[in-house]
Amino acid sequence: MTLLLHDDLFLEHDTGSHPERAERLVETRKHLEATGLWGRAVPLPARDATEEEIGRVHDPLYIEEIRTIAASGGGAPDPDTIVSPQSFAAAIRAAGACCAAAEALAAGRDRTALALVRPPGHHALPYAAMGFCLFNNVAIAACHFQAACGLDRLFILDWDVHHGNGTQDAFYDNGSVLFCSIHRVPFYPGTGYAEDRGRGPGRGTTINIPVTADIPTDAYKRRIQETLDGPAAAFKPRAVLISAGFDAYARDPVGGLGLEPEDFGDLTRQVVAFARAAGNVPILSVLEGGYSLDGLPRCVAAHLEGLLAYA
């Protein structure tokens, strides 16, 4: 089975006609219910993250800034990022859902969890909102795995079409987290160079795989497999986290990298095989991008099918 985290509060992060809007989750749930996948997963209630949990990644003044903007009726802390009156509540629930998933996986309740959350997080910096993101859900979950669940070495794979700059920054000098981002270049946010490998104790634990928009799908998958077989296997992680963005889908209106829904199923099976070989370690997948209301649900379905196969 796979633990599934979702909360209607995520729909109240009101961004209007912005590409990152509530319909992304509405349409995804409809499709998962229609295909029977929603019923095959095990629901796990989301909860609010505490300020201590968010504060492991984000500065307290920044947390208060987002709270204040929401309480004052909303605004735009970043040119691409919207805060509505319920956005702070949705963001702390999204981060808390990922922490709840980490706790359940560490306790052995299941081997996989999928957090269908919004707002997304992998661009969020310790001191600033960025790129549709408020709090860095996957980084907060990784810190929670370590601080509250006792899992010391973690592997984060980010296959969103955009570089996970916020997650990279969170762990750039932290040798206990191996972070790998495969992303389109040249593209937003303009970071993620192959030579960026970490700093100090984290030297060698950042892996950036910049790829061009015309990369063949087989080559894309091969680049991920090489990372899994090489540095990720050598790292011996005790849990795997996926920043599961689906904007590498071929017809995504914001991204696009030639991938079809079945390719995300293949990617998931690659990660599941890696997790088995690493000692049946748990996998926590966290929704990031993906803005095609037709493609996103089908990509998530293929991903969830792959997670459900981890038995």
| Catalytically annotated residues | 123
Tokens matching residue 28: 């995804």
Terminal alpha carbon distance of the chain = 7
| 3-class state of residue 187 by DSSP | coil
DSSP per-residue codes, 106-165: HTTS-SEEEE--SS--TT-BTTB-BTTBSS-HHHHHHHHHHHHH----EEEEE-SSS--H
Pairing between β-strand 75-78 and β-strand 81-83 as defined by DSSP bridges: antiparallel
3-state secondary structure 189-201: CCCCCCCCCCCHH
Selection from 156, 137, 62, 149 nearest residue 95 by Cα = 137
> Would you tell me how many other CB atoms lie within 10 Å of the CB of residue 225?
15
